[in-house]
Structure formats: C-alpha cells, structure tokens
Amino acid sequence: MHSVAILGASGYSGQEVLDRVLRHPELEVVALGSDSLAGSPAAALDVRLNGSLPPFVPNGEALAAGADLVFLCLGNQRTAELAPPAEGVVVDLSGVHRLADAEKAAAYYGTAPGAWGYGLPEVSPAEVRLIANPGCYATAAILALAPLAAVVDPASVVVDGKSGVSGAGRELKASSHAGFVLENVSPYRVGSHQHAPEIAQALGFPVTFVPHLLPVRRGLLATCVVTTDADARELLEEAYAGSAVVRVLPDGVVPELARVQHTDGAEIGVFADRETGRTIVVCAIDNLGKGAAGQALQNANLALGLDETAGLRLSGVLV
C-alpha cells in the first residue's frame, strides 16, 4: 500500500480525488488537509465518510506527513507558497507549475518554472516525481489537437470551450451564483484565459481560445476547428488506439456531456465542414474527472508504477 495525503480535501477537486483514492486497491489515506476543517472528523465533509479516515489537519501538517503520494488540490496562491516535500510523488492540480516559459508563468501565476513535469498521460506523460496536472480546458483541447499538430495550419486553429460551473472552484463568486448561471451561457476571460498558453505549449503554436460558462454543474466540451489536408480521423484513432481513457467515436457520433459526466474518460468526435473544407474535432470530458481528479490519479498511478486505470471511473465511457 502507498500512503496518500490530500491537501485541500474539502474543495471540489479534493473531494473528487478522495473518492478515487478510497476506491483504489493500493492507496491508503494518511492525511486529509483543510485549513477550514482542521480538527474536524472526516464526516464533517461528508456524513458517509466513516471513522476509518483520519481527521482533518491544516494543509501544512498534511504536507509534512511523509506520505508516498501527495495531491495538491489548492488554489494557485496557496500552492505557490508551499515547498514540495523532498521525497514522494506530488501531483499539483493548481496551475502554478504548468508553464515552462518563465515570463508567462509569472504573468499568469506569479511563479517561476521549477523541476515539475507536465503530465498529460496520453500525450506527454511526466517522467519526474513532481507532476503538474493539466488544466481542464487544456486537457480537452490538447487531446483533440495534439495528434494533428504537425499537419494543421496553426493560424486556422480555433478552440471554443464550454464548461460547467464547478470548473470555477468551490469558492463563492458573483459569476457562480445561480441567478447568473441559470438560463445563461456567457464567455469569460476572452483572449486572456490562463489555459491558452498551456495549450500553445503542448501544441507548439498559439491558438484562438474562447471559454464559456454553462448552466450545468460539471462537464466540458472543446470544439476545435482546424485546416488540414490530412485524415484527422485516422491520426486520432491511431493516437488513442491503445487508450482505456480516450475514445474516438464512430463516424457521425457526437460527443455528449451526459456520457462523460462523473467519469474519467474522454470522447472525441471528428467531422468535416462541407462549406469550408475545414475539420472539426470535438472533445468531451468531465472537468472534475479527466479534467482534474481522474487525470491526477492517472498521473499518480504511472509515477508509482501501478495500473494506469486503477481507481478511475471508466464504466461510463462508450466502447
């Protein structure tokens, strides 16, 4: 068994990580970090959590617990303040360690690149113990576009992203109020979203990226438009032929949020635009699953030499 500490365990991504760790046959929780719930039993977060779990401790104490595996499920500012432990695998679900470009990292997160590896298992698996988990929008866009990066016109690439409100985190914001979200779809951070340089870093060129907030709790769609003479479907099917997580759907089948919500899988659909000749690639994921906690566990499994899919929710993925 490998010991696990989860910092920020009371947030959305922290709760999702905890759920997956509890179902994992080779992981055992030894520390639950939460500054707001420190001193409280695990049941304070969810009454279904029994007495077998340790009580909450401050995040700093959880980090110092000496666990084999640490999940950082904290906000950017709090994460940037922490020095990773000298040993063990650390998976960071915040954004502060994703960018290798020092200027862009400082502009978006106020940090400088360190010894962290960017871990998107199907495209760029991290080969270090300090793993930067990709952002949710970036995950969907990169999965859709990475196999095509060498054969598209970079100037043609447009990514239209739409995500459920849980992508904004648990902290209360005016834009996450029901009165704003319900019966509404709104673009935000247009032209300046922090996932845009992350996508560009993975693809090797910048893209036009526009995110939108959907009136749903969870789920994410990235609709990517490209110009290419290559057979996009063939390249995508070849790239993910051996993946238990990413599925390229049959011709004409459209990815849907409902099929990926509450799972750690990804669906990709490929379509031709009859009017322009462009190719449209759509990727659907759960922003809290493959876009956060599921991918974090997938990265941890690989780093620890375990079954890549252990603990993941994959039963809802179309096969």
Q: Which residues are known to be catalytic?
A: 136
Please enumerate in sequence order all residues whose Cβ is within 8 A of that of 309, keeping only pairs 6 or more positions apart, or say none.
244, 245, 298, 301
**7-14-283 Cα angle (round to 5):** 135
Measure the N-to-C terminal CA separation of the chain; round to a whole number of Å. Answer: 31
Encoded tokens for 114: 């360190």
How many whole angstroms separate alpha carbon 171 and alpha carbon 198?
Answer: 23
How many whole angstroms separate alpha carbon 161 and alpha carbon 147?
Answer: 19
